[in-house]
């Protein structure tokens, strides 16, 4: 059996705008998805999913997501989850030139599904790495990142960026602008606090909504460009270890994302709870619509405030994870 893991992420700045070629800065965090893979004697896949904020499921099939498990979870999330696993397997088969390889796979994760913390990217990255190694092929992290991006791009109907998959494969803080991806080597250890409302946004629907606004209104397109300006300013603040400025720019970024219609009442409530507890900054992270916010606070105050905020199901500290995909 071969086992790999990969980290989730939070966005300091740039979600949604990165889809249109603007830069983004996601940071890997120490919450991971782990994929265990064992080759079978036939071409079938048996996938057991645990701890994905689903009820858990096991399904065996010949490929394709038509054989969806019967679990009490929104259909788009389950179909997408299975699409990601199918895509990871296909990439590993291609890398090893083993098109008929079958696998028993177990997927476990401490990253909430669909909550803006990069759960799908982590599962795809870990899945490709584990399945390829089970077939005798060692892939470089940047190759895993590229293959994982292809999977997300297909599952998300061409609306994915390279940000999530590159960050998960490489670890640490990264900068992504179109196809230009690089690690930010000297990024400080930022004091992340994450609040989770227990929900999940529909990434495809939210991205499509921003696209419609951008095409209909010039000021929405200007808002997307303004997010890119915040990212560029934020890079300078990171290089200077100016954490207070990073926090201020996160606040601006949240306001612009809210203007684009991707925030929600629960996300706004958590953002304001963290700010009122004197967090340096707070914003939604990921596609929005529900899920998680990220705040910067070295004290226990923001985490405590979030734990008492109506609609916040969980609050936790998160360290920057400088390790990307790895064998376990």
Instruction: Report d(CA 108, CA 129) in Å as an integer.
Output: 15
Beta bridge pairs of residue 187: none
How many other CB atoms are there within 10 angstroms of residue 244's CB atom?
Answer: 11
Distances (CA, A) of 190 to 88, 174, 247, 321: 31, 14, 10, 11
Tokens found for residue 114: 């669909």
Rounded to 5 degrees, what are φ and ψ at 152?
-60, -40
Q: Does residue 164 have an active-site annotation?
A: yes
Instruction: Report d(CA 128, CA 9) in Å as an integer.
Output: 18
Rounded to 5 degrees, what are φ and ψ at 41?
-90, -5
CA atoms within a 13 Å half-sphere pointing along the CA-CB vector of 6: 30
From the candidates 86, 146, 164, 197, which is the catalytic residue?
A: 164
Instruction: Compute the C-alpha angle 74/87/257, nearest 5°.
Output: 55
For the range 55-64, what are the long-range contacts, defined as Cβ-Cβ under 8 Å and sequence gap of 24 or more? 63/89
Asked if 214 contacts 20 with a C-beta cutoff of 8 angstroms, the reply is: yes
Cα torsion angle, 212, 24, 250, 224, sign = negative
What amino acid positions are annotated as catalytic residues?
Answer: 164
């Amino acid at each position: 059996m071969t086992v790999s893991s990969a980290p989730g992420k939070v966005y300091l700045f740039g979600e949604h705008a990165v889809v249109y070629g603007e830069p983004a800065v996601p940071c890997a965090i120490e919450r991971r998805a782990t994929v265990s893979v064992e080759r079978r004697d036939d071409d079938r896949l048996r996938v057991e999913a645990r701890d994905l904020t689903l009820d858990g499921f096991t399904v065996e099939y010949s490929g394709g997501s038509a054989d969806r498990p019967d679990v009490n979870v929104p259909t788009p999330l389950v179909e997408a989850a299975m699409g990601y696993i199918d895509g990871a397997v296909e990439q590993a088969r291609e890398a090893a030139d083993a098109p008929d390889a079958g696998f028993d796979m177990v997927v476990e994760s401490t990253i909430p599904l669909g909550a803006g913390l990069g759960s799908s990217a982590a599962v795809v990255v870990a899945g490709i790495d584990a399945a390829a190694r089970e077939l005798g092929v060692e892939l470089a992290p940047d190759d895993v990142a590229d293959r994982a991006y292809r999977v997300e791009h297909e599952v998300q109907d061409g609306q994915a960026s390279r940000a999530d998959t590159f960050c998960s494969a490489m670890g640490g803080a990264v900068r992504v602008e179109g196809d230009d991806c690089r690690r930010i080597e000297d990024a400080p250890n930022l004091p992340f606090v994450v609040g989770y409302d227990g929900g999940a946004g529909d990434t495809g629907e939210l991205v499509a909504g921003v696209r419609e606004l951008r095409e209909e209104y010039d000021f929405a397109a200007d808002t997307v460009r303004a997010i890119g300006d915040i990212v560029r300013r934020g890079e300078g603040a990171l290089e200077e270890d100016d954490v207070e400025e990073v926090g201020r720019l996160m606040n601006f970024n949240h306001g612009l994302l809210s203007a684009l219609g991707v925030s929600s009442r629960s996300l706004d409530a958590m953002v304001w709870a963290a700010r009122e507890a004197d967090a340096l900054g707070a914003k939604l992270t990921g596609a929005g619509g529900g899920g998680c916010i990220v705040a910067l606070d070295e004290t226990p105050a923001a985490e405590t405030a979030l734990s008492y905020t109506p609609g916040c199901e969980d609050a936790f500290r998160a360290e920057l994870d400088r390790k990307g995909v790895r064998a376990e």
